[in-house]
Amino acid sequence: MMKQVFKDKIINIDSNFWDKKFLIKKLNWEENISNNDFEVIFLSDLLEKRKNLEMLEKAKIKPAIWSNVYSPRDEFEIFEELFENALKNNKKIHIVWVTLWKEMEILEDYYKKLWFFSEEINAFKVDFSEVLISVSVKIENLMWRGSDYKRMWKKIFFNPPIRESWEVKNMFKWINRWVIAWIYIDEFDLEKQNFLIQQILQEHILPITMAKILNYNLADFWFTWKESDFIITY
């Protein structure tokens, strides 16, 4: 049966017993309708201003150094300033492309203070309509890790950079603890679709969690975008 996945339930939407598929509604970044009530901030834009040209030259020989072309320290300083200013000015912001566990610890502590942590499920039940700050992780920062620089080289020279394996592992942790609000996907090609399908099939991300991080969390945060169907055969 085809099953549609919502943020709090999964329901059958046809009677074909052999048609084992999940239907997840995905918000389309490229079809942004309106987000006038808050500010979307791309960490990459701010990191670009701190680009380390010395590390850039070294990365041409040792590709793993690319992670320090846009250093974790610089990223964290930028994130911390954005976070503190949002709270100070009571300003609603969405920060796109976080990569660091230190950023997630700050956000997790913020959500705990708002009483969104559930002991029962050891995860968060965040009402994103009630928070000032939410974050996205870029899909490439889930697909690759620092050990991939050696074989991938410039193919994964992104901003923000691919981080170490333990940082990537922690991004999955905070997705599954319902702290990360969304996965940012610029071009939803077959490679990225297949990656997300594998996360479902291998149970790295549960279907309801996937529906939240592709749609419902940001809808609650007041993003108003068009939707498309993402179908997963299982």
pLDDT digits 0-9 by tens, 195-231: 999 999 999 999 999 999 999 998 888 777 788 999 9
Average pLDDT of the segment spanning 186-190: 91
Outline where the chain has alpha helix (H).
Answer: 43-48, 53-59, 72-88, 101-113, 140-143, 149-152, 165-176, 190-201, 207-211, 217-220
Band the pLDDT of 30: cuts 50, 70, 90: low
pLDDT at 225 (0 to 100)? 75
- Name the one residue in this structure whose structure tokens are 């974790």: 72
Percent over 70 (pLDDT), the chain: 97
Q: How far is CA 198 from CA 112, 201, 207, 218, in A?
A: 31, 5, 11, 23
Average pLDDT of the segment spanning 171-188: 94
pLDDT digits 0-9 by tens, 109-138: 999 999 999 999 999 999 999 999 999 999
Secondary element (H or E) of residue 38: none
Residue ranges of domains in the chain: 36-192
pLDDT at 34 over 60: no
Q: How far is CA 209 from CA 10, 55, 65, 154, 191, in A?
A: 11, 37, 33, 32, 20
Secondary element (H or E) of residue 226: strand 224-233
pLDDT at 36 (0 to 100)? 59
- The overall average pLDDT reported for the chain is 92
Strand 21-34 with 224-233, pairing: antiparallel
Outline where 133-222 has alpha helix (H).
Answer: 140-143, 149-152, 165-176, 190-201, 207-211, 217-220
pLDDT at 15 (0 to 100)? 72
- Phi and psi, residue 44, nearest 5°: -60, -35
Q: Which among 227, 230, 229 is positioned nearest to 218, based on CA atoms?
A: 227
pLDDT at 42 over 90: yes
36-192: CATH, from 3.40.5.50, 3.40.640.10, 2.40.30.30, 3.20.20.140: 3.20.20.140
pLDDT at 178 (0 to 100)? 95
pLDDT at 61 over 60: yes
pLDDT at 59 over 70: yes
Band the pLDDT of 33: cuts 50, 70, 90: very low
Whole-model pTM?
0.91
- 87 contact partners, CB below 8 Å, separation of at least 6: 110, 132, 133
pLDDT at 143 (0 to 100)? 97
pLDDT at 133 (0 to 100)? 96
pLDDT digits 0-9 by tens, 68-102: 999 999 999 999 999 999 999 999 999 999 999 99
The amino acid at residue 97 is W
